[in-house]
Chain A
Amino acid sequence: MHPAPSVIVFTALSGLGFGLLAWLGLGLPAVYGWAAFWWYFVGYALAVGGLMASVLHLGNPKNGLKAFSQWRTSWLSREGVAAVVTLLIIAPFAIGRIFLDTDWGWLGAIGSLLCLVTVFCTSMIYAQLRTVPRWNNALTPVLFLAWSVAGGALLAGQAVAAGLLLLLAGGVQVAYWLRGDQRFAEAGSTIGTATGLGALGRVRLFEPPHQGTNYLLKEMGFSVARKHAVKLRVIALAAGSLMPAVICILMPAGYVAILIAFPIHLVGIFAARWLFFAEADHVMKLYYGG
């Protein structure tokens, strides 16, 4: 699948933003007043910024509001609804902490839970697609939640928890790669089943429908060179998980760890998300000889 910057930024930043808000909702760190303002500002900026990036991916954003209507059937719609409800529930909790010096703990706890629900919905947009076997896998939601909670802990200055969660997320990432590498073959779609001609003999594409490109090939025909993928996996794992985890565990002072470890973590997350899209093959490619 085409690793469009808008969807990479959307899933990475909104995951981090909702991860941070989930920790803040639990009252961690225990900040009030101006200090609290800046934490919530960062949480909202990441979550809302990510959602805005996703709007850039739309061909016809003027109908955007209609996307909230089909939550009964559509994970994309559910994600939109969950994101807005979460941000609205956390807002009064944040106001209480920033301006009123009050802690409506129950409201924060509900907000935290909703943050996780939102990230889960984001992951299901991808995990539900049978057409992309690598994503259509129970580890996809686990992967999104693990990175979100770990990155959130890092941003929330919960150094020890962050260190452990980052290592856990790295482990989930490796499991997802190993599982994902099997998925296309497991799903069983081949050029033979795609054309229905497999029973007659060995099928191969003789001529594509046109010499140029088309929307389908631009959107879904992407494929990444194996040697680049291996390098990027190493970068994603080292920068996303191992390096920030080590920094957190060796420097559990909080703020310092955030300033050093977070930029490194962000590089790793972007590499991992780029691969999430770039390595995912769509069964439609079979019609184009892929």
Chain B
Amino acid sequence: MTALPQSTDRKLGLVIDLDTCVGCHACVINCKEWNTSGTGAPLSDQEPYGDTPMGTFLNRIHTFEVEVEASPAQMVHFPKSCLHCDDAPCVTVCPTGASYKRSEDGIVLVNEDDCIGCGLCAWACPYGARELDQEAGVMKKCTLCVDRIYNENLPEEDRVPACVRTCPAGARHFGDLGDPSSAVSQLVAERGGMDLMPEQGTKPVNKYLPPRLRDRSMSGGKSLESKGDSPKGLLSWIDRALEAL
């Protein structure tokens, strides 16, 4: 049913630390690996070795440059995947009931057996978090690794989303954002976690921790010393001669 639940018991989601992400794309690769071999259609590639390769990914890393007043520009690596919104517009537009939000943990999923591949949910998502698989013709999106986080066949430490498990920088955190005492909620409170495009009214569950501004300039605050002020030898003679003219 594509009506959204009134409220969800838990709000499972990610907290992404833009201060820590190094832009290595390891989470992109591990996401693709896990989700292409799990339940549902694989994440296909078109012309992977051709001139115009493209493929389905559930997580992508953009890199932005921020020009900060009176300080050098800063680079921010920016991972983006489904934010499992509380007011998910992608769910209510779905004509088939394939898209739904779970009342128990708030995860937004697609039931591929019901999907007609109309693409309207991808149009309704402000974040570009849904991609229609070009091979299977059904909508793919981040499942928050629902097939890992509850999977008792996996060792305890692996029961987190693949992207979180693989991040070498520790930039991705997983937990219940509906519980103010959870580690992720505290991280959000401490670091001023923010919503993306709040004006779209989607109430995203995932939060982003802003990068810290540099507290000192990379060159130590002064420009390099000029080496050309006091020439020696012949140059010094020419210099003086020019001065005298």
Contact = CB atoms under 8 A, between A and B. Distances in A.
Nearest to A128: B93
Contacts of B178: none
A179 interface: no
Q: Is the interface of B mostly helix, strand, loop or mixed?
A: loop
A280 to B, nearest CB: 10
B199 interface: yes
A59 B198 contact: no
Contact of B116 (A58, A189, A216): A58
B206 to A, nearest CB: 11
B65 A206 contact: yes
Interface size band for A? 35 or more
Contact of B196 (A60, A194, A288): A194
Contacts of A204: 64-65, 67
B67 A215 contact: no
Given A58-B117, A129-B89, 9 more contacts: A66-B114, A70-B97, A77-B95, A130-B89, A197-B211, A201-B68, A214-B54, A216-B128, A283-B197
B80 interface: yes
A216 B122 contact: yes
Given A76-B118, A209-B61, A284-B125, A130 B66 contact: no
Contacts of B94: 70, 73-74, 76
Greatest chain A CB density within 10 A among B55, B80, B122 is at: B122
B96 A194 contact: no
B114 A193 contact: no
Closest 9 CB pairs of A and B: A59-B117, A59-B137, A77-B95, A209-B60, A284-B128, A60-B117, A76-B95, A66-B96, A60-B137
B42 to A, nearest CB: 15
A196 B78 CA distance: 10
Contacts of B97: 66, 69-70
Contacts of B5: none
Greatest chain B CB density within 10 A among A69, A130, A195 is at: A195
B79 to A, nearest CB: 9
B116 A59 contact: yes
Given A193-B199, A205-B62, A209-B62, A67 B125 contact: no
A207 B60 contact: no
Nearest to B73: A201
A191 B197 CA distance: 9
A169 interface: no
Contacts of A203: 64-67
A181 interface: no
B95 A70 contact: yes
A215 B124 contact: no
Contacts, number: 198
Nearest to B51: A212
B7 interface: no
A108 B2 CA distance: 34
Contacts of B213: 200
A131 B125 contact: yes
Interface string A54-90: 0001111101101111101111110010000000000
B213 to A, nearest CB: 7
B131 interface: yes
A195 B126 contact: no
B3 interface: yes
B56 interface: yes
B195 interface: yes
15 contacts: A58-B118, A59-B119, A60-B117, A66-B95, A66-B97, A67-B96, A73-B2, A187-B199, A188-B199, A197-B76, A205-B63, A209-B62, A215-B122, A216-B122, A216-B128
Contacts of B194: 196
A220 B116 contact: no
A69 B213 CA distance: 51
Contacts of B18: 197
Nearest to A79: B95
B63 A206 contact: yes
Contacts of A59: 115-119, 132-133, 136-139
Interface in A1-27: 1
Contacts of B65: 203-206
B98 to A, nearest CB: 8
B2 A61 contact: no
A279 B92 CA distance: 25
Contacts of A1: 123
Contact of B127 (A74, A205, A284): A284
Greatest chain A CB density within 10 A among B73, B124, B136, B197 is at: B197
